[in-house]
Amino acid sequence: MNKNLTRRKFLQSASLAAAAVPLSRVAPAQASFVAGEFGAPGSFSETKTVTGGICEMCFWRCQVVGKTRDNRLVKLEGNPKSVDNGKSICARGNAGIQLLYDPDRLKYPLKNVGKRGAPKWKRISWDEALDETAAQLTKIQKKYGPHAVAMFPHGASSVYPQQFLQYTGTPNVSAASFYQCRGVRDMAYMTTFGFSPGEKVDMANAKAILLLGSHLGENVHVSHLKQYLKGLENGAKLIVVDPRFSAAAAKADVWVKIKPGTDTAFLMAIMKHLLDKGIYDKKFVEDNCTGLAEFKEGLAHSSLDWAAKICDLPAEQIKEVAEIIGKNAPNVSIHPGRHTTWHGNDFQRLRAQACLTAILGAYAVPGGLIRHKSMKLGKAPWAKGVFAEDCDLATFWPFKPPGTPTDAIRETSITSKPYPIKAWVAWGQNPIQTIPNQERTIKSLQNMDFVLVTDIMPTDITMYADILLPEASYLERYDYIKKGTQWNPADEQVQYVSARMPLVEPMFERKDSVWITNELAKRMGYGDNIPVQSVEELVDKRLAKANLSIKALRELDGIYLQKGKSPYVTDPAKRKFEFDTDSGMIELSSEIIADNDFSPVPTFIPVEEVPKGFARLVYGRSAVHTFNRSQNNVWLHHEMPENPFWINDDNARAMGLKDGDRIALENQDGVRSRNTTIIKVTPGIRKDTVYLAHGFGSMNPALSVGHGKGIDDQALITKMVIDPETGATGMRNNFVRIIKDGKAISFPA
Amino acid sequence: MKQYGMVIDLEKCIGCHACAIACKAEWEVPADQGRNWLKRLGPAHTPHGLASTYYPGLCNHCDKPACVEACPADLEEKTFKDPVSGKKKTMEVAATWKDPFDGTVQIDKDRCLGCGACADACPYEARYVNPELGEDGKADKCTFCVERRAAGLEPACVQTCLAGARIFGDLNDPKSPVAKYVKKGAIKMESAAVKIGPNVRYFGNKRDIHLLTETSTPRVMPEASLRRVMIARMVRPVIREVKKKLSIFDMS
């Protein structure tokens, strides 16, 4: 038998040697390898390089090129011309082709002939889908007013349809990227500095970096991580404030194992210490800040000991952090964070971060908060919507980010007070997993006259659609224009513009959002108001402001570069700035906040204590997944198929749990996780805190890979605390205990 | 003679897994397999403090590769050429070998039997059998992207690494960045029982290196390996005889 096998293989290889081998597969003479019949040819072999790709596996949006063979995308790589991500992309970026060719993707317009939540799908034509959607939305708008349509957008493609619906008269748009993510940060910095900070702290050139909860490394945005790593390489002191020994804490000089929800007290004590000791930029504060006296007064009680007790930290450590920051000022990155809707006391914390930045003078200097000027582009085309005066659901929240707070829309959807909301439109967002309390979300959905969902993949929300529309993915469409500056602010100054271009043609009946929206607009009686006839026209119109076009960009390998401006103003004579606030200065104490009956000086609002037998559930990102969006990607799923439940090792021992045990969870309201996951026993988390990566446990069986894998943290977040200033959703106020073999196991006191 | 190797700088690595996925795309690796991989380690106590790091692993292109020894495919003469000096060397090799000029371990998939002996033999579990190739599958592993390098490109994992944490080069060239890392203390993942000269090195602080080596260094040579090697050694002369006879048969 051995002989036969050998003979067969022997003859096989002999005949192969005789067969014609394509030229590109012939190895150069000096190479020792044999690129034969059975080896993959490699992405560089017999492929075409298509430029102009902009990634949207996450929302950092790196510049990519595609390698295509026979019109099939075989690999994605960073665009070598990029001054942002360069030739690098992350795991998710690399795995984009598995999204593109995912067999579970939405292919055709579908009509739900079953029930919401238990759908039966019937394939219908685009005409039928558009006719029915337009008829339903028109009927609802006529009967209840335009504001009876609510929209939940996410991603570049959702901007145009969102603007259209606003144009028809609904203010009820709620972006998860604001209300469950960064909106509260933007508003806090707006009231302090007069602009939203993005994540534009110059970590690459910092002498010290302070991260509050930001778990860089688990949160992967390529150019941002390049900046962070450059800073560390240059010797920046890294301070990481996190109840968990995160990927960032593992690289930190100081890990501040803070009690969740108390960060504002920590920051206040640091600021008081710096002010008391005179370790702050007096000249900068005098020239650029207002309200110092009130600010000092507001912090009068915030001693190191006071904060130490609240934060469950040694006072010495708070002092150490203050002194590291003070010593390295102004070249300090006080990171503004990204996902910042934690506890419903977040506006005050983010105000504190902004004020700390200000008193250190850490603005427009290497390492500080910077505004790096990029090129101007034309605006998106739909005219602004005009809303009826009495339809604003957000009057309680004076500092709300754009749109309407999600919870206000959802409650109105259930109660019809003050007016009915009767249609939900989800476009690229999965509100089941973005908004706490899934029962309320599902109740709202069941209360609708009509639900439209447009997406690339099935998600939990698509199960609740009446009409489900398939969109072209970021690799198959034009839409987003990425602009910015070179990743390291200290390098040669460069500005760039790059417009997303399709790397391959869309398959099946997938369409871009401009086409879908225009077809709906025509059918809803807005045909004459359509601002652009195609997505190409939209992109060209916006590019025209920069004297660019799709054609010009294509000839430039997808990226236009020009000389930029330094974001630094280091000449002491020029460090008096104009800010876009009421006072024109940085507002340490804010009159407008006081006028709205909130504390004008950052103040600590305590959060609910952990009930006996439970631990606080915190959640975060994973390096290989973007929330729920990537769960069905076979490559990413292989890297992280479920989300291990982090539990303190002492607790695990006392509870009789071992690393790898399979468990479910139950929260304070008796809500149990639909699925199970494994336990990760570690000393790297506080005893009162447990952790899950967000986005797992999809309930949609149409996801053949990701369905039911891991625990959906959002399912356990039934209680939320709405941030009183902004209406943003605080989600880390939920507590869980463990269910193993059907029995509840409580946490030790 | 060169000895290509790779250094992974754990001070820089942020554990993003891009290396593992770029490799998958480049070499059409099945979804549930990997030529390289990344495992998250910790957080765990070490004598040097709490640590959390990563094990980005790949074929070590060992000095004494157990996989090469284990290959039962019939031996064939193969002439290697040093691209620098033009020197040639002819060796008898099975379907996998260690290149005498650049030190990489390579596979001839046309001649691979798909038996998996090499995969069983590797204490680092760096090889797998790709069942999608050929009738019985073919062994596959990291080649240090020899084909990409021949085309003037970097290894796929090196190119995509945003951290610059993967450094490829000739360990025998004292001026190369990899050799400099070795001088700075980049370690091999070796144990008393597994000493086959791995050429992937890891650089990092004490606590991370402690966690890496404690959790991930292989402690035993795979048993299957020894058995397979013995069988291979016994079978090879027989195969050679059979082959001779076959070629006589084919000629007549």
**What are the pLDDT digits (tens) for A713-726?**
999 999 999 999 99
What number is the average pLDDT over the span B226-245?
A: 69
Q: Do A75 and B25 touch (CB under 8 A)?
A: yes
**Confidence class for position A38, pLDDT limits 50, 70, 90:** confident
Give pLDDT, residue A25.
36
Q: Stretch A85-93: mean pLDDT, rounded?
A: 98
In this prediction, does ipTM exceed 0.90? yes
- Mode of pairing for the β-strands spanning A743-745 and A735-740: antiparallel
- Distance of CA A22 to CAs A35, A723, B138, Å? 11, 64, 21
Residue located via tokens 């609904």: A170
Q: Are A635 and A727 in contact (CB under 8 A)?
A: no
CATH no. of B62-141+224-252: 3.30.70.20
Q: Is A137 helix (H, G, I), strand (E, B) or coil?
A: helix
Q: Which residue of A has its CA nearest to B43?
A: A684
Residue B29's Cβ-side half-sphere holds a number of Cα atoms within 13 Å equal to: 26
pLDDT digits (tens, 9 = 90+) for A295-329: 999 999 999 999 999 999 999 999 999 999 999 99
* Chain A residues within an 8 Å CB radius of B73: 6, 9
B residues 26..65 contacting A (CB < 8 A): 26-28, 31-32, 34, 38, 42-45, 50-53
- Where is average pLDDT lowest: A414-418, A471-475, B161-165, B248-252? B248-252
Find out whether A718 and A434 touch, Cβ atoms under 8 Å.
no
Pick the CATH number of A615-745 from 3.40.630.10, 2.40.40.20, 3.40.50.300, 3.40.50.2300: 2.40.40.20
Q: Which of B24, B50, B133 sits opposite A38 (nearest CB)?
A: B133
CATH architecture of the region A110-180+377-563 = 3-Layer(aba) Sandwich (3.40)
Q: What 3 state SS string does A212-240 have?
A: ECCCECCECCHHHHHHHHHHHHCCCEEEE
Q: Read off the pLDDT of residues B37-88 as tens digits, 9 standing for 90 and up.
A: 999 999 999 999 999 999 999 999 999 999 999 999 999 999 999 988 899 9
In the three-class reduction of DSSP (H, G, I as helix; E, B as strand; rest coil), residue A469 is classed as strand
Burial of residue A572 (number of CB atoms within 10 Å: 0-12, 13-18, 19+) = exposed
- Note the pLDDT of residue A590: 97
Cβ atoms of residues A82 and A65 within 8 Å: no
Which residue among B17, B42, B102 sits closest to A684, beta carbon to beta carbon?
B42
The model's confidence at residue B97, banded by pLDDT at 50, 70 and 90, is very high
What pLDDT, on a 0 to 100 scale, did the predictor assign at position B230? 72
HEC-encoded secondary structure of B181-213? HHHHCCEECCCCCCCCCCCEEEECCHHHHHHHH
Same fold, A196-370+572-595 and A615-745: no
Instruction: Report chain A's terminal Cα–Cα distance, integer Å.
Output: 67
Q: Which of A724, A12, A636 minimizes the C-alpha distance to A398?
A: A724
Which H helix or E strand runs over A454?
A: strand A450-455
Q: Tens of pLDDT along A433-446? A: 999 999 999 999 99
How many CB atoms are closer than 10 A to CB B123?
Answer: 24
B143 compared with A8, residue with greater pLDDT? B143
For residue A77, what is the nearest residue in chain B, using CA coordinates? Answer: B160
Assigned CATH topology for domain A196-370+572-595: Dimethylsulfoxide Reductase; domain 2 (3.40.228)
Cα A189 from Cα B210, distance rounded (Å) = 42
Calpha distance B16→A565 (Å, rounded): 32
The pLDDT of residue A1 is above 90: no
Measured distance CA(A412)–CA(A421) in Å, rounded: 6
The reply to whether B66 touches chain A by the CB within 8 Å rule is: no
Residue A100 corresponds to which tokens in the numbers above? 């593109």
Nearest C-alpha in B relative to A705: B31
CA distance A336 to B233: 64
CB pairs under 8 A between A and B: 192
Q: H helices within A304-388, ranges in order?
A: 304-311, 315-328, 346-359
To the nearest whole percent, how much of chain A has pLDDT over 90? 93
The verdict on B243 touching A (C-beta cutoff 8 Å) is: yes
Domain B1-60+157-221 classification at class level: alpha beta
Helix (H) / strand (E) element for B144: namely: none
Phi-psi region of A213 (alpha: psi -120 to 50; beta: other; left: phi over 0): left
Q: List % helix, strand, coil for chain B (3-state, nearest 5).
A: 30, 25, 45
Q: Touching check for B112 and chain A: CB below 8 Å?
A: yes
Q: What is the mean pLDDT of residues A520-543?
A: 97
**Mutation target vs A (from B23, B28, B38, B52; most A CBs, 10 A cutoff):** B52
Across the interface, whether the CB atoms of A35 and B153 are under 8 A apart is answered: no
CB B118 within 8 A of CB B71: yes
How far apart, in whole angstroms, are the C-alpha atoms of residue B45 and residue B211? 8
| B236 interface with A at CB cutoff 8 Å | no
Q: Which of B1, B81, B147 to mutate to test the interface with A (most CBs of A within 10 A)?
A: B147
Residues within 8 A of A (CB atoms), B 172-201 only: none
- The rounded distance, in Å, linking the Cα atoms of A730 and A406 is 12
Is the pTM above the cut of 0.90? yes
Please give the Cα distance from B10 to B212 (Å, whole number): 10
CB nearest A220 (choices: B16, B32, B104): B16
The pLDDT value recorded for residue A19 is: 36
- For residue B53, list chain A residues with Cβ-Cβ distance below 8 A: 250
- Inter-chain touch B15–A40, beta carbons under 8 Å: no
* Separation in Å, CA of A56 to nearest CA in chain B: 15
Phi first, then psi, for residue A4 (nearest 5°) are: -60, -45
Pick A44's closest partner by Cβ from B24, B138, B148: B148
Helix A513-523 to helix A159-167 angle (10° resolution) is 20
**pLDDT level of residue A5 (50, 70, 90 thresholds):** very low
Does the pLDDT of residue A30 top 50, yes or no? no
The per-residue pLDDT for B239 is: 66
Mean pLDDT confidence for B188-213: 98
CA of B210 vs chain A CAs: smallest distance (Å)? 14
B77 touches chain A (CB under 8 A): no
Q: Provide the 10 A C-beta neighbour count for residue B47.
A: 9
Rounded to whole angstroms, the Cα distance separating B59 from B119 reads 11
pLDDT exceeds 90 at position A3? no
Domain boundaries, chain B: 1-60+157-221, 62-141+224-252
Question: Rounded to 5 degrees, what angle do the CA atoms A339, A343, A347 make?
Answer: 70
Q: How confident is the model at residue B241 (pLDDT cuts 50, 70, 90)?
A: confident
Identify the closest residue of chain B to A66 by CA–CA distance: B25
Ordered by start, the domain boundaries in chain A are 1-39, 110-180+377-563, 196-370+572-595, 615-745
* Contact between chains at B44 and A684 (C-beta distance less than 8 A): yes
